[in-house]
Each structure stands twice: as structure tokens, then as C-alpha cells.
């Protein structure tokens, strides 16, 4: 760990220097979370910049790609062409000084530049070196790690979508985000171990295993029964009613998790006899007769607007909510006092989801312009005037 830069607000990760060689989503998401808590993240970009700088439209008020902006606040950007000897030497010097190095190239690429874990560790034994891949560094090393591909081969699409429709992906690159969160957890675990043992280590996270881990109950069911689950649309394989239902004007979700909530639901909808019907009196029975139950509930819901039902069910202690679009979802969180939006310059992004009572995230700078911190200013203070300085002990 380095002395924190006095120009930077202190945070839980103040004094941690991150050499960020990652691009697109999983890696940048991880390093933004580290930066939000005070880590000094230096984003190393190729001359053309991170690919997501060019993923337009949409753009923010400054004309920058919102995709890039969504995962790159609180960082500094420097262009280093790793095929250029001078730039490569700078990259190696940065890696040798860093507490954390993170990269998401295909396995073997960093080796070619002398920036592999073994290369960096030789100069910097305390380094925590995080590699993010699509399918690991073994037999899957040659496979392209695109989120859509992983959702397909990882089983998520097989359980997403309507039963008679085609397999569907999630509406966001969810596996990249999950993998980025796993990378953060791994980095923090390795830093904690470094505090204890004094040495760094390699951290590996891959998209496929991140998805398989996130399949939780669906994977457990498959392992226990030998049968892969099928698509159920918005219904749950083990709970009913737990789905999307139409009301008079729009859709809402009803998420009943136990028999008490189901009885409260029937009273709120004016159909209390259903709670004593043997086809619906237990969750197992409701799952078995889910189609019949759905018809009963839809008939009751059709007479009033969704907002009415959400309020009535909430008063009855039944979990329910509108199916919001993204703008409505942000407004909903804002109405709950969660302060979901961060405004920095011309950039508006979603706040870090982690809150600490004594060392909260800090939002210091908007996503950097490409090579914004070129020249001596991008260098960590301990390296600016010491071009021949050896690696950090």
C-alpha cells in the first residue's frame, strides 16, 4: 500500500494503486467499484481507446458514449501502445509499482508483453494480479468471452423466456457484471491475505463460472434430479403465485412466498375462498395447479388498475410492484431516498450499490477523456521524478 495522495479524499481503499489494463465491461466495472472507495485507478488504454468509447449512440451531455461512462468514473486515463517499446516500458513500470493489476485479455496476451503475473510478481512480490477471462485459462482459453455467448452456453438462456418461445438473454450484459463483482471480491480477499502474509497472489474470475454460480437453485435442482429445468416465462419453478400478472392498465408482479401471504392475497382480491381450496391451500399444490390459479387471479385483477392493486396488496402485506421501465425504476429508487444517481460534469451514472457507514463511496471525477492524464501528471507521485526507480518492495 502507498501513502494516499493528499489531493484525493480518503476511502476504504485509499493508498491502493490499481493498474487497469481491462476494457469493455467486466474489468472496468470492477475497477470503478474499487475507485469509488478511494483506490487510485490508472486506466491504460490503446491509442484507439476502450472499445466502449465508440459504442454510440447514446451519448451523454458531453458527447461521450454512455456505455463507457457507466463503468469508468473516478479513474485516470493514459494511452500506452503496448507494441511501442517506450510505452511498454512505462506500462511495466506502472505494473511494478501497483498494488493491484487487472486485465481481461485472452490468456497469453499479457505474457507476450512481459506483463504476465509471473513477470510482474518477479518485480513486485506484493502484487494482487487479477485476470478476467471468458472460460478460464485452460481448454477454454481460445474461446471468445462475449456475454451473449456465455449466457447461451452457460444455461441462462435455456431458462429465460416463454415456454413456447425462443431462448432469451437478459436485457443487460448481466454475466459481465456478475464476473466484475466476483473480481472485486477476489481482489479484496487477496489484499486481506496480503495484510496477513505480506505477499500478493493471482486472482482469477471467468464469465462461465460466474454464471454457473449465479444459477443457484436452478443448478442445484439439475444436480439433484438429473433433469435440466425448462423455461417458465416469468413464473417460478418452486413458488406460486410468483409471476407477472396483467391488471386493467398495465402489468404488475405478485411475489407470494408462503401460505400466509397467499391467504392475505385472496382477501385483498376479494376471493378468500381460494385460500381453503385444496388445489391452492399449500405452495406445493399451487405450483401443481399454477395454470388454474393464474386464471383465477387474472380474473380478479382485471377490474382495477395496477397502481390500486400494488397499494392494496402492500397494505395487506403481500409483496407486489409495478413492472417499471428503467426510468421509472430510477425514479422509484430516488423516491425511497436511495440517491441512485451520480452527477459528475456532463455524466450521470448509477451510484455504487455498496454503502459503508464510516467510509462511504466518493464520486470525485467523471469518466476520463481518452489520454486525459497523458504526460508526467498521470504517473503516481512516487514515480514522476524517478524514472530509474526500482519496483516497490
What rounded mean pLDDT belongs to the chain? 92
41 contacts 74 by C-beta, under 8 angstroms:
yes
Report the alpha-carbon angle 112-116-203, nearest 5: 145
Q: Which CATH number fits domain 17-214+359-384: 2.60.40.1730, 3.40.50.10540, 3.90.380.10, 3.40.605.10?
A: 3.40.50.10540
181 contacts 30 by C-beta, under 8 angstroms:
yes
Grid cell for residue 224:
439433484
Query: Which residues, 6+ apart, have CB-to-CB distance to 135 below 8 Å?
Result: 141, 143, 145, 150, 206, 207, 208
Q: Which of 183, 180, 155 is nearest to 169 (CA)?
A: 155
202: confidence class by pLDDT, cuts 50, 70, 90: very high
pLDDT of 388 strictly over 50: no
Grid cell for residue 253:
408482479
Beta bridge mates, 59: 65
pLDDT of residue 10: 73
Dump pLDDT digits (tens) for 33-65.
999 999 999 999 999 999 999 999 999 888 899
Dump pLDDT digits (tens) for 333-375.
999 999 999 999 878 999 999 999 999 999 999 999 988 888 7
SS3 120: helix
pLDDT of 1 strictly over 90: no
pLDDT of 324 strictly over 70: yes
CB crowding 364-384: b at 16 or more within 10 Å, else e: bbbbbebebbeeeebbbeebe
Fold observed for domain 251-322 = formyl-coa transferase, domain 3 (3.30.1540)
What are the catalytic residues?
176
Q: Which of 55, 65, 13 is nearest to 35 (CA)?
A: 13
pLDDT of residue 358: 92
Count CA atoms within 13 Å of residue 357 on its CB side: 0
pLDDT of 86 strictly over 80: yes
Give the global pTM.
0.90
Query: Which residues, 6+ apart, have CB-to-CB distance to 257 below 8 Å?
Result: 239, 242, 319
17-214+359-384 and 251-322 agree in CATH topology: no
Hey, where are the domains in the chain? 17-214+359-384, 251-322
Mean pLDDT, rounded, for 216-231:
95
Strands 17-20 and 100-103: parallel
Dump pLDDT digits (tens) for 246-301.
999 999 999 999 999 999 999 999 999 999 999 999 999 999 999 999 999 999 99
- Cα 94 to Cα 44, 124, 256, distances in angstroms: 10, 11, 53
CA of residue 326 relative to chain centroid, distance: 16
- Count other C-beta atoms under 10 Å from residue 146's C-beta: 15
What own/partner pairs with CB < 8 Å and gap ≥ 24 does 152-158 have?
Answer: 153/208, 154/207, 154/208, 154/211, 154/212, 154/215, 155/211, 155/212, 155/215, 155/218, 155/219, 155/228, 156/211, 156/215, 158/228, 158/229, 158/230, 158/231
Strands 251-255 and 320-322: antiparallel
pLDDT of residue 390: 36
pLDDT of residue 48: 96
pLDDT of residue 379: 62
3-state helix, strand, coil in the chain (%, to 5): 40, 15, 45
Q: Which of 122, 86, 82, 127 is nearest to 105 (CA)?
A: 82
Dump pLDDT digits (tens) for 161-194.
999 999 999 999 999 999 999 999 999 999 999 9
389: confidence class by pLDDT, cuts 50, 70, 90: very low
Amino acid at each position: 500500500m502507498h501513502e494516499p495522495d493528499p489531493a484525493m479524499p480518503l476511502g476504504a481503499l485509499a493508498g491502493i494503486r490499481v493498474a487497469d489494463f481491462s476494457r469493455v465491461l467486466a474489468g472496468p466495472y470492477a475497477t470503478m467499484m474499487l475507485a469509488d472507495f478511494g483506490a487510485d485507478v490508472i486506466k491504460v488504454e490503446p491509442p484507439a481507446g476502450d472499445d466502449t468509447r465508440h459504442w454510440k449512440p447514446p451519448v451523454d451531455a458531453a458527447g461521450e458514449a454512455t456505455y463507457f461512462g457507466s463503468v469508468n468514473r473516478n479513474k485516470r486515463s493514459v494511452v500506452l501502445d503496448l507494441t511501442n517499446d517506450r510505452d511498454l516500458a512505462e506500462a511495466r513500470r506502472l505494473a511494478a509499482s501497483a498494488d493491484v493489476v487487472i486485465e481481461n485479455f485472452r490468456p497469453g496476451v499479457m505474457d507476450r508483453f512481459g506483463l504476465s503475473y509471473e513477470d510482474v510478481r518477479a518485480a513486485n512480490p506484493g502484487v494482487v494480479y487479477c485476470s478476467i477471462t471468458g472460460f478460464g485459462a485452460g481448454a477454454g482459453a481460445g474461446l471468445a468471452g462475449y456475454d451473449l455467448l456465455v449466457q447461451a452456453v452457460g444455461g441462462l438462456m435455456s431458462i429465460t423466456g416463454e415456454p413456447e418461445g425462443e431462448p432469451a438473454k437478459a436485457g443487460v450484459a448481466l454475466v459481465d457484471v456478475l464476473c466484475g463483482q466476483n473480481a472485486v471480491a477476489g481482489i479484496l480477499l487477496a489484499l486481506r491475505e496480503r495484510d496477513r502474509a505480506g505477499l500478493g497472489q493471482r486472482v482469477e474470475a471467468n464469465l462461465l463460472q460466474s454464471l454457473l454460480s449465479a444459477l443457484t437453485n436452478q443448478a442445484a435442482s439439475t444436480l439433484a434430479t438429473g433433469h435440466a429445468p425448462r423455461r417458465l416465462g416469468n413464473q417460478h419453478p418452486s413458488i406460486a403465485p410468483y409471476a407477472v400478472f396483467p391488471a386493467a392498465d398495465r402489468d404488475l408482479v405478485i411475489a407470494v412466498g408462503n401460505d400466509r401471504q397467499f391467504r392475505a392475497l385472496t382477501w385483498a382480491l376479494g376471493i378468500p375462498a381460494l385460500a381453503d381450496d385444496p388445489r391452492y391451500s399449500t405452495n406445493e399444490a399451487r405450483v401443481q395447479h399454477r395454470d388454474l390459479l393464474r386464471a383465477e387471479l387474472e380474473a380478479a385483477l382485471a377490474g382495477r388498475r395496477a397502481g390500486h392493486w400494488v397499494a392494496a396488496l402492500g397494505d395487506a402485506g403481500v409483496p407486489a410492484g409495478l413492472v417499471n421501465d428503467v426510468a421509472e425504476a430510477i425514479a422509484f429508487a430516488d423516491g425511497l431516498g436511495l440517491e441512485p444517481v451520480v452527477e459528475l460534469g456532463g455524466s450521470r451514472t448509477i451510484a455504487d450499490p455498496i454503502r459503508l457507514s464510516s467510509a462511504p463511496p466518493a464520486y470525485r471525477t467523471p469518466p476520463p477523456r481518452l489520454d486525459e492524464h497523458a504526460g508526467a501528471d498521470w504517473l503516481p507521485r512516487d514515480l514522476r521524478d524517478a524514472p530509474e526507480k526500482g519496483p516497490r518492495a
